[in-house]
Amino acid sequence: MPKLPAPPLPKSLQPRPKRPGENGNGAVRPVEAAQEAGITVVDWIDERTSLSGGIRWLLFRKVPKGINWFYTLGSATMFAFLNQAVTGVFLAMFYRPDAAGGAYESVRYITDDAFLGQLVRAMHKWGASVMIILIFLHMARVFFFGAYKYPRELTWIIGVVLLILTLAMGFTGYLLPFDQRSYWATIVGVNINGTGPFIGPYLSDFLRAGPEFGATTLSRFYAIHMMLIPGLIAALIGAHLYLITKLGISAPPWIKAQEDPGLRESQV
């Protein structure tokens, strides 16, 4: 005789459907639960921070037609700065700002003995020149394309401060190997600073950490070089990028001329 199907269990006795990430004992494992629900780590972070909106605002924006490779010089300068920051951290792991021979010896150790030390030091040293060349090229692009004009004056002013700070990085970094060349070059540089009007003498005293060039001068230069100025540069690059994103990139002058029939012939 065929077996009759069992009558359905009452609702309270029916097995509950498995929740995402639930194992055999009824315990829910959060990582598996998220995987089953298709939630990635990025989604998890974004739900708590809403950072993706800001990143999309910064990266996914319209740019004017006709822009070219010259518009990449600002980003190239930024990457040169990042290179300086990363290599600088590794150099700081070995460098000692000790004027009684320790600084010179630590730089010798980095160059001759530390693993990949010569490479990292060279990247930092050559990277400094690369950054200065790039910043001038970027500034020239902005100048010749007239990109400093309304409404981008503040972007330009922040740029000028960035230029001064970048040059100051070169100046303060030059002393750190503490060899004959860096010592005498810095004395000359500090003396030149001292001839500046009004703030010149105060600036020299600040740089020397007193009226005489002494052991604390090296510590002063090191602190300025690896903390004060990089912090300022990072903050100002943030402000520079904020303004660039908010105002949009300026169109090249020849496109502006085509699109604005109101321009006089001389302006075109």
Q: Is 166:135 a contact under the CB 8 Å cutoff?
A: yes
Q: What is the DSSP letter of 22?
A: B
Q: Which residue number has the CB closest to ligand HEM? A: 159
Q: State the minimum distance, in angstroms, from the CB of residue 169 to ligand HEM.
A: 10
Q: State the minimum distance, in angstroms, from the CB of residue 135 to ligand HEM.
A: 5
| Positions in the binding site for ligand HEM (CB under 6 A) | 71, 73-75, 77-78, 81, 135, 138-139, 141-142, 147-148, 152, 155-156, 159-160, 162-163, 166, 237, 240, 244, 249-250
Distance CA 116, CA 84 (A): 16
Closer to ligand HEM by CB, 58 or 119: give it: 58
Q: State the minimum distance, in angstroms, from the CB of residue 44 to ligand HEM.
A: 30
Closer to ligand HEM by CB, 165 or 187: give it: 165
φ, ψ of residue 22 in degrees (nearest 5): -80, 135
Cross-strand bridge partners of residue 209: none
Distance CA 24, CA 13 (A): 17
Question: Of 107, 106, 95, 97, which is closest to residue 215 (Cα–Cα)?
Answer: 97
Q: State the minimum distance, in angstroms, from the CB of residue 146 to ligand HEM.
A: 9
Closer to ligand HEM by CB, 28 or 140: give it: 140
Q: What is the DSSP letter of 228?
A: I
